[in-house]
């Protein structure tokens, strides 16, 4: 039984190829000089450089956190290169025709055609390759609606007021070790602004790809949904198969002003390392959103990649009646380790949050849910519901739950439910007796376990997530 399941899970990492793209890459190492060079390469204004340097000084005083249920060798940040860009990007291509065909092929191979005519209608893509944004599609169409969707490096020049006002406003520089590092060295990422009362006419998405060896990826995303606006944003990530570990330390900030709604979905498929735990991405990410009055932020994540994942997409429910949601599927296998969950900080009155977390552990992996629900004294009538389910496959993996609840308001209600189950021999036998392959049976059972989360994903992503777990039927019937 276990053997069949192992076989089912030991699928190839399909995104593991390396693209032959000539790059300009900084020598490994981190000091003020490197930060000045990043800022210079990006042609940044002085205020941006100052902000970076301030963050760098803060970071130098900080210690790498060790409270997570993770074990990995200390990361040598001096051996990492902090900037790498395809040479063809030096003279910024004006249109798709000018983009290096090898780059376009890379995204096509990953199933993300960047040629607009070939794209699924309704999704605009920002493609980030190592440290730079390669192309952003459908920009004109979005501009008609007043929506800004561009690389953050470009927004620094074009929309300095918005950047100055909001960058670091949700995740402060000194928030944590990895966030501070990101503030100092971030290279690119996406910037989104949805004007007042606007419903973004299409899904926005960013695809992050690490290609170059020994580089870290430090992207930064900032999404601002002005009053009464609505946006759905998707994020996908892959990296080549390499024997050494690579660092990914991103920061994502979401601002949902009064009555606005942001839906943020992630399918994270960074290279997880091989069966023995060699190689793979170290994924240390800070994601947080702030909800003003009546606003709503919904995080949905499907985490299947990375050797180590440290990630807690959170909501600060500042405005009255605001809503925060977190739907998560985290699958670990081989020797992967994930410590992931969320924080729901209830500040406003009648704020509501929902947490649905599904952890699936297989092989010799470790999967932890860590979540904080805090009801501040002013959070009159606030409510939280948390459901945390673990599914174990085999008998050498671990599932852990670390829920933290802090309630300082007697009228607030916090509910927590947790279950742990196993893919049983009976379930496998039933499927096989009906003629289903063991591999297919496992993925069907796992998919069923994740259903509550998958249904929160936008259609295109649900398909991708299903594929990640080798499911072909999901969404096509019933």
Tell me which residue of 313, 260, 315, 312 sits closest to 290, measured CA to CA: 315
Stretch that binds other proteins, among 127-135, 281-289, 314-322, 418-426 (CB under 8 A): 418-426
Name the minimum Å distance from CB 417 to other proteins. Answer: 14
Helices (H), 323-458: 425-433, 438-454
Tell me which residue of 285, 335, 289, 334 sits closest to 311, measured CA to CA: 285
The three-class DSSP label of residue 203 is strand
Whole-angstrom Cα distance, residue 292 to residue 86? 40
Choosing from 243, 406, 415, 425, the residue that interacts with other proteins (CB under 8 A) is 425
Residue number, 272 or 466, with CB nearest to other proteins: 466
Stretch that binds other proteins, among 74-82, 155-163, 170-178, 427-435 (CB under 8 A): 427-435
Residues 342-361 close enough to bind other proteins by CB under 8 A:
none
Contacts of 377 (CB under 8 A, 6+ apart): 408, 409
Residue number, 46 or 426, with CB nearest to other proteins: 426
Residue number, 167 or 444, with CB nearest to other proteins: 444
Using CB under 8 A as the binding rule, whether residue 2 contacts other proteins is answered as no
Residue number, 164 or 432, with CB nearest to other proteins: 432
If residue 237 lies in a helix (H) or strand (E), which one and from where to where? strand 230-238
Stretch that binds other proteins, among 14-22, 91-99, 378-386, 441-449 (CB under 8 A): 441-449
Other C-beta atoms closer than 10 Å to the C-beta of 122 total 12
Whole-angstrom Cα distance, residue 233 to residue 204? 5
Tell me which residue of 113, 284, 118 sits closest to 205, measured CA to CA: 113
Number of H helices, E strands in the chain: 11, 23
* CA distances from residue 9 to 96, 238, 424, 449 in whole angstroms, order as listed: 38, 18, 16, 16
Choosing from 96, 436, 460, 467, the residue that interacts with other proteins (CB under 8 A) is 436
Whole-angstrom Cα distance, residue 59 to residue 308? 21
Name the minimum Å distance from CB 466 to other proteins. Answer: 11
If residue 36 lies in a helix (H) or strand (E), which one and from where to where? helix 32-41
Residues 42-61 close enough to bind other proteins by CB under 8 A:
none
Name the minimum Å distance from CB 474 to other proteins. Answer: 7
Using CB under 8 A as the binding rule, whether residue 169 contacts other proteins is answered as no
Tell me which residue of 121, 116, 249 sits closest to 175, measured CA to CA: 249
Choosing from 10, 120, 418, 430, the residue that interacts with other proteins (CB under 8 A) is 430
* CA distances from residue 359 to 127, 363, 383 in whole angstroms, order as listed: 29, 13, 23
Residue number, 230 or 440, with CB nearest to other proteins: 440
Tell me which residue of 23, 13, 66, 39 sits closest to 214, measured CA to CA: 23
Choosing from 80, 307, 445, 468, the residue that interacts with other proteins (CB under 8 A) is 445
Name the minimum Å distance from CB 462 to other proteins. Answer: 14
Choosing from 146, 427, 460, 467, the residue that interacts with other proteins (CB under 8 A) is 427
Say if strands 23-25 and 84-86 run parallel, antiparallel, or are unpaired.
antiparallel
Other C-beta atoms closer than 10 Å to the C-beta of 340 total 26
**Contact string 107-126 vs other proteins (x = CB under 8 A):** --------------------
Whole-angstrom Cα distance, residue 421 to residue 419? 7
Residue number, 396 or 472, with CB nearest to other proteins: 472
Residue number, 74 or 434, with CB nearest to other proteins: 434
Stretch that binds other proteins, among 37-45, 71-79, 317-325, 447-455 (CB under 8 A): 447-455
Residue number, 400 or 440, with CB nearest to other proteins: 440
Residue number, 32 or 425, with CB nearest to other proteins: 425
If residue 71 lies in a helix (H) or strand (E), which one and from where to where? none
Residues 448-477 close enough to bind other proteins by CB under 8 A:
448-452, 473-474, 476-477
Stretch that binds other proteins, among 134-142, 285-293, 369-377, 419-427 (CB under 8 A): 419-427
Whole-angstrom Cα distance, residue 250 to residue 219? 5
Using CB under 8 A as the binding rule, whether residue 395 contacts other proteins is answered as no
User: Does the CA dihedral 232-322-400-391 come out positive or negative?
Assistant: negative
Choosing from 431, 460, 467, 470, the residue that interacts with other proteins (CB under 8 A) is 431
The three-class DSSP label of residue 120 is coil
Residue number, 78 or 433, with CB nearest to other proteins: 433
Half-sphere exposure of 96 (CA within 13 A, CB side): 16
Residues 139-168 close enough to bind other proteins by CB under 8 A:
none
Name the minimum Å distance from CB 409 to other proteins. Answer: 35
Whole-angstrom Cα distance, residue 362 to residue 398? 8
Choosing from 1, 120, 413, 418, the residue that interacts with other proteins (CB under 8 A) is 1
Choosing from 447, 459, 460, 463, the residue that interacts with other proteins (CB under 8 A) is 447
- Residues at the site binding other proteins, with contacts judged by CB under 8 A: 1, 424-427, 429-438, 440, 444-445, 447-452, 473-474, 476-478
């Amino acid at each position: 039984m276990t053997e069949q399941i192992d076989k089912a899970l030991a699928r190839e990492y399909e995104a593991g190829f390396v693209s032959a793209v000539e790059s300009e890459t900084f020598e490994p190492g981190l000091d003020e000089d490197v930060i000045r060079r990043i800022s210079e390469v990006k042609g940044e204004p002085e205020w941006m450089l100052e902000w970076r340097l301030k963050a760098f000084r803060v970071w130098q005083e900080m210690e790498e956190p060790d409270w997570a249920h993770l074990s990995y060798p200390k990361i040598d940040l001096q051996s990492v290169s902090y900037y790498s860009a395809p040479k063809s990007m030096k003279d910024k291509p004006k249109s798709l025709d000018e983009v290096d065909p090898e780059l376009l092929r890379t995204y096509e191979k990953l199933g993300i055609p960047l040629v607009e005519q070939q794209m699924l209608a309704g999704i605009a893509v920002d493609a980030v390759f190592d440290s730079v944004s390669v192309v952003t599609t459908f920009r004109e169409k979005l501009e008609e609606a007043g929506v800004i969707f561009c690389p953050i490096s470009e927004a620094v020049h074009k929309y300095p007021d918005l950047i100055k006002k909001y960058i670091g406003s949700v995740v402060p520089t000194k928030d944590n070790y990895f966030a501070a590092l990101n503030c100092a060295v971030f290279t690119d990422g996406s910037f989104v602004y949805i004007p007042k009362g606007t419903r973004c006419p299409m899904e926005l998405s960013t695809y992050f790809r690490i290609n170059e060896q020994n580089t870290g990826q430090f992207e930064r995303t900032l999404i601002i949904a002005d009053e009464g606006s609505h946006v759905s944003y998707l994020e996908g990530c892959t990296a080549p198969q390499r024997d050494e570990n690579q660092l990914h330390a991103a920061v994502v900030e979401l601002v949902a002003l009064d009555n606005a709604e942001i839906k943020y979905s992630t399918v994270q498929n960074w290279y997880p390392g091989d069966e023995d735990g060699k190689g793979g991405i170290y994924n240390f990410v800070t994601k947080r959103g702030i909800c003003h009055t009546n606003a709503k932020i919904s995080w949905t994540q499907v985490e299947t990649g990375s050797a180590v994942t440290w990630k807690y997409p959170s909501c600060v429910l500042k405005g009255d009646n605001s809503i925060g949601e977190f739907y998560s599927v985290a699958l670990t296998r081989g020797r992967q380790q994930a410590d992931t969950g969320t924080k729901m900080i209830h500040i406003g009155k009648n704020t509501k949050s929902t947490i649905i977390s599904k952890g699936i552990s297989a092989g010799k992996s470790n999967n932890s849910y860590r979540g904080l629900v805090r009801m501040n004294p002013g959070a009159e009538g606030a409510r939280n519901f948390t459901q945390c389910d673990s599914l174990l496959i085999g008998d050498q993996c671990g599932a852990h739950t670390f829920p933290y609840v802090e309630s300082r308001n007697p009228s607030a209600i916090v509910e927590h439910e947790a279950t742990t189950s196993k893919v049983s021999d009976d379930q496998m036998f039933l499927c096989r007796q009906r003629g289903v392959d063991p591999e297919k049976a496992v993925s069907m059972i796992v998919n069923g376990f994740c259903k509550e989360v998958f249904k929160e994903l936008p259609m295109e992503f649900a398909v991708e997530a299903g594929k990640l777990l080798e499911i072909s039927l999901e969404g096509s019937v019933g």
